[in-house]
Chain A
Amino acid sequence: MTNIFSFEVLSGVLRTMIALSTPFLFAALGETFSQLSGVVNLGVDGIMLLAGFFAFYAVLLTGNVWLGLLLAMFIGLLMGLIMSLVSVTLKAQQGISGIGLQIFGLGMSSLLFKVLVGTVKTVSGFAPIKIPLLGDIPFFGPILFRNNFLVYAAFLLVPVSWWILEKTTLGLKIKAVGQNPAAADSVGINVNRIRYFSVCLGAILAGVAGAALSISVANLFQDNLTAGQGFIAVALVYFGGWSPIGVLGGALLFSFATSAQLWLQVLGIQVPASLAVMLPYILTIIVLTISVNRGKQPAALNKQFFRGEN
């Protein structure tokens, strides 16, 4: 039996963790923008599915991963526009329109897959890029610096999101719109425009998350490829207290638990498989219960904005 505390095992656990966390990071960071502006988008999973399918299909036809990524972003944008139209302009209940979007994405991706592809096919997705010098660092090199473009982009997105939210006028506007839309409106901020922007940005990133699944992690498409990962991404936003750093922590923790339980099984540690599978979820529930993030929740989350009503 392999020593579970060996360097190889730890490195393996961490590498799997990094790969698994990529789709979560894109989807959850996107959802953070959306929720900070006051819109809960429960359709993330549906966006990931449809965008993931198109990314896969484009790569299947052309072999060009960049085209796949671009198409996924475009599909994300379209679905973000639908979500904004229904919940911002038409002021429908966000929860219901999000679930509608999810069902739509699930059904449409499945239908298109059946009609256009039919059977399981694999593609070659984003190839790993070894960063010179850094990639040769023992232990950390293979974990951190021999990943593909999407993995680097996901981790780079964390500080970028933080910077946008904390240091720019746009970030200030997004947060104001989510906390007190009437106040934002009264100083001339176009509440609906900011919400459209945030929801669409979130949806584009959800599209990238879908592409990360279909042309980076799994390199194939199948019915319900996400298996609910979009919903976990939404939960990670609460988990992370609406901050990019918190979301990063949540995504890493969840992916680490998943990766660790796989390794436990591979190494033949005598844990019942059904218990091991529960590990990430149990861990998430425990952390959610301990960490109190209620105070950070955008006050206008899930609330439609009507001018002139206080």
Chain B
Amino acid sequence: MKSNRIFVAFLLLAVVASTAFAVGDKEAGATGAAKPLRIAVVMPSATTDLAFSQSMWSALLKIQAEMGGPSKLELKYSENMFNVPDAASALRDYASQGFDIVIGHGSQYGSSIREIAPDFPTTVFAWGTDVNTFGLPNVYAYTAAAEQGGYVNGVLAALLTKTGKIGVTGPVEVGDAKTYIIGFVNGVTATDARITISKTWTGSFSDVALMTAAAKTHIASGAGALTGSSQSVVGSIGAAKEAGNVLWFGTQADQAPLASGLVVASQVYDWTGMIKDIIANQKSGKLGGDAYVLTLANGGLKIAYNPSYTIPAAVKAKAEAAIQAIKSGAIKAMP
């Protein structure tokens, strides 16, 4: 039947388009003469999310550039792998294609790594954010002490808000989204206990419209500064931008490009040191067993001040003091 054939063609077109959505399977390297090091990464969101996934992807690109380009380090990624079974098969594929280091960049991939890693004893696996290597010799775990940057942002926010109110938005109360906010709240209250902080959780990592509405609700109830975590935070920034006079504090990646006049500072996850360490270990034959924690002290976490927002010197000094105190252990961001 003619109509059926057209219908099937239509469905196929839809499926092709959807595949483009589900797996952005792209190569950032070409095979050179000498056998390059090969790293693959599976991520829950897009490499351009200005947050969690982008922090890992930019670290890898930076290392690639340092090492001398695609002929020395071959990179491959699968993004938007919300669906864990899909991610698991991608991880297994990369391992069987002979990648040297396979990264599962999401706390939801833990059980998949635990299941796959024993089948590829010569491949290095890394996953995060978590600290559990499952006792496997070829698995690294990594996480970020997000509360540390959260604390610093909290200090800044408490000093800069003009309304005495601060709003916090987040998706679900888990992982580094949760610890960041704990640190942030501690930073605010340690600086000025009179400030009210209100929190909203939207229950979704992807519902931007709802996140926008949540941020607008904070603004309407008088919040002078906002912060929050996860990729859907872009909605909140949009709301802050629309309101015009509300400050934003970022985390995971430098969010200044989203609203240059409003973003005061961002806690940036810098995975480069950790990855370099894993690469070095791999060359010397150590395939896993360690858990990395990014901290301000080890340079894995950085506070990126937005150059186009002028922070009063006194305020900046207090933030720097907090950074030093956290580094030295004098302040515990999350007691």
Contacts and interface: CB of A to CB of B under 8 A. Distances in A.
Interface stretch (B213-221, B264-272, B292-300, B319-327): B213-221
B163 interface: no
Select the residue from B6, B13, B207, B259 with max chain A CB neighbours within 10 A: B207
A137 to B, nearest CB: 18
Select the residue from B22, B50, B234 with max chain A CB neighbours within 10 A: B234
Interface in A206-252: 213, 217-220, 222-227, 229
Interface residues of A, number: 57
B17 A111 contact: yes
Nearest to B216: A16
A141 interface: no
B46 A100 contact: no
A119 interface: yes
Interface string A242-269: 0000000000000000110011011110
Given A12-B221, A82-B10, A227 B206 contact: yes
Contacts, number: 161
B20 interface: yes
A262 B213 contact: yes
Contact of A122 (B3, B231, B237): B237
Contacts of B218: 266
B258 interface: yes
B161 interface: no
Nearest to B13: A104
A266 B202 contact: no
Interface in A84-116: 86, 90-92, 96-97, 100-101, 103-104, 106-108, 110-111, 114
Contacts of B4: 92
A202 B274 CA distance: 52
Interface in A45-71: none
A110 B203 contact: no
B18 interface: yes
A259 B50 CA distance: 27
Given A12-B220, A92-B4, 19 more contacts: A9-B221, A90-B3, A92-B3, A100-B10, A100-B14, A107-B22, A108-B20, A118-B48, A121-B258, A222-B232, A227-B208, A227-B210, A259-B217, A262-B200, A265-B200, A265-B214, A266-B214, A273-B173, A278-B203
A52 to B, nearest CB: 10
A114 B91 CA distance: 23
Interface of A: 2, 8-9, 12, 15-16, 19-20, 23, 82, 86, 90-92, 96-97, 100-101, 103-104, 106-108, 110-111, 114, 118-122, 124, 213, 217-220, 222-227, 229, 258-259, 262-263, 265-268, 273-274, 276-278
Interface residues of B, number: 56
A265 B48 CA distance: 30
Nearest to A227: B207
Contact of A91 (B3, B14, B217): B3
Chain A binding surface, main DSSP class? helix
Contacts of A97: 7, 10
Interface in B298-322: none
Contacts of B36: none
A204 B13 CA distance: 22
Interface in B203-259: 203-204, 206-210, 212-214, 216-218, 220-221, 231-232, 234-235, 237-238, 241-242, 257-259
25 contacts: A20-B209, A100-B14, A104-B14, A107-B16, A114-B46, A118-B48, A119-B48, A120-B258, A122-B234, A122-B258, A124-B242, A222-B206, A223-B45, A223-B46, A227-B206, A229-B209, A259-B217, A265-B200, A265-B201, A265-B214, A266-B199, A266-B214, A277-B202, A277-B204, A278-B203
